[in-house]
């Protein structure tokens, strides 16, 4: 019962309706193979949205995810060029570690110096991009320079789905457990829900926010490698502006920008919603010039919708009102 009224259910409904609408224009879109392809295409957004969710839950925001992704991706690509023999496992570890380290920079500035997260990540966003330029000297790393295993890993198909999709599923499962079943997950919710009370509860607010940034950074780093591998090219501007898509996915998924409210399922659905729109518009033959306006409108409608669903019933003290509720 409560699920049917939940944000997740509403969003699932919206996604199904969207798919149905697209199907009327272009039936093949909802073929399982195509849906799998759409899921695969949306995987990086899902992973990033999950990281961003954690950050937003603690009343922060991470605008540096896309820049982190690009920087980590570039480092992985350059590493691959320099040492083509390096196993993918090592590359993955490097991506996760570097991403986490970049996230930790954000986290430390927020934790130790108490600088508002939006300011910190606005700053690191431009700094990270600049560092890519300095590292690469503005040069691209192209597909023929990358080793076959480097670009092949993400698209290797297991049980009908590419590794990229499986990684997104794995990340989602891990995040689900972390957020619902571990003391750390609870603490992250608590910090965003009522930071003042969290202090009284013995939770270190700053440290929890630091952890959130590290998680977000780590997932951005992971996406960095996956992104570079998938598109087989690395340059300064990769995933430019993608941070807004990530935040939009979270918002559509019902993660409250005020902190403390949001679920793993919501973040995933929000990302899928955007991903489907992105993938559907080109195939249903809507002029590419309409794309931007449609995604903008979708964000606004979704937020309006969420706000309605979010409106608390309030306290009812009149007996007559209770009956009619």
For the segment 156-175, give every residue that binds other proteins (CB under 8 A).
none
Q: Is 127 in the site for other proteins (CB under 8 A)?
A: yes
Show contacts with other proteins in window 252-271 (CB under 8 A): 257-258, 260-261
Contact code string over 91-120 relative to other proteins, x by CB under 8 A: ------------------x--xxxxx-xxx
Q: Is 7 in the site for other proteins (CB under 8 A)?
A: no
289 phi/psi in degrees, rounded to 5: -70, -15
Least Å from the CB of residue 224 to other proteins? 13
Largest CA distance in the chain: 75
Of 59, 50, 54, 121, the residue nearest 258 (C-alpha): 59
Q: Is 35 in the site for other proteins (CB under 8 A)?
A: no
Q: Is 21 in the site for other proteins (CB under 8 A)?
A: no
Show contacts with other proteins in window 202-241 (CB under 8 A): 202-204, 227, 231-233, 235-240
SS3 track for 115-144: CCHHHHHHHHHHHHHHHHHHHHCCCCECHH
Q: Which of 179, 247, 271, 277 binds other proteins (CB under 8 A)?
A: 247
- Cα→Cα distances 6→17, 89, 152, 193, Å: 17, 39, 39, 19
Secondary structure class of 258 (helix, strand, coil): coil
d(Cα 16, Cα 5) in Å, to the nearest integer?
16
Q: Is 143 in the site for other proteins (CB under 8 A)?
A: yes
* The one segment of 13-21, 138-146, 168-176, 265-273 that binds other proteins by CB under 8 A: 138-146
Least Å from the CB of residue 20 to other proteins? 18
Closer to other proteins at the Cβ: 84 or 112? 112
Q: Is 291 in the site for other proteins (CB under 8 A)?
A: yes
Host H or E run for residue 259:
none
Q: Is 84 in the site for other proteins (CB under 8 A)?
A: no
Q: Which of 1, 82, 89, 285 binds other proteins (CB under 8 A)?
A: 285
DSSP 318: -
Please spell the DSSP secondary structure of 136-192, one letter per residue: HTT--B-GGGS-HHHHHGGG-EETTEEHHHHHHHHHHHHHHHHHHHSHHHHHHHHHH
């Amino acid at each position: 019962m409560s699920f049917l009224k939940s944000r997740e259910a509403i969003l699932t409904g919206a996604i199904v309706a969207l798919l149905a609408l697209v199907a009327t224009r272009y039936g093949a879109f909802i073929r399982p193979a195509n849906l799998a392809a759409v899921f695969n295409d949306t995987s990086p957004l899902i992973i990033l949205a999950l990281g961003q969710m954690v950050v937003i839950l603690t009343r922060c925001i991470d605008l540096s995810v896309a820049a982190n992704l690009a920087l980590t991706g570039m480092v992985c690509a350059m590493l691959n060029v320099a040492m083509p023999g390096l196993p993918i496992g090592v590359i993955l570890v490097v991506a996760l570690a570097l991403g986490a380290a970049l996230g930790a920079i954000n986290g430390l500035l927020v934790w130790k110096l108490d600088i508002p997260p939006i300011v910190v990540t606005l700053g690191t966003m431009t700094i990270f991009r600049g560092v890519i330029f300095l590292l690469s000297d503005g040069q691209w790393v192209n597909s023929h320079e990358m080793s076959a295993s480097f670009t092949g890993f993400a698209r290797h198909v297991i049980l009908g789905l590419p590794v990229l999709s499986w990684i997104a599923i794995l990340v989602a499962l891990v995040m689900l457990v972390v957020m619902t079943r571990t003391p750390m997950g609870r603490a992250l919710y608590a910090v965003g829900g009522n930071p003042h009370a969290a202090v009284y509860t013995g939770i270190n607010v700053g440290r929890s926010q630091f952890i959130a940034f590290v998680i977000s950074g780590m997932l951005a780093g992971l996406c960095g490698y996956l992104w570079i591998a998938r598109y087989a090219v690395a340059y300064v501007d990769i995933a430019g502006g993608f941070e807004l898509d990530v935040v939009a996915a979270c918002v559509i998924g019902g993660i409250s920008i005020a902190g403390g409210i949001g679920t793993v399922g919501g973040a995933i659905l929000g990302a899928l919603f955007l991903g489907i729109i992105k993938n559907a518009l080109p195939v249903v033959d809507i002029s590419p010039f309409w794309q931007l306006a449609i995604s903008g409108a979708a964000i606004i409608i979704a937020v309006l919708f969420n706000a309605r669903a979010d409106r608390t019933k309030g306290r009812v003290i009149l007996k007559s009102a209770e009956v009619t509720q």
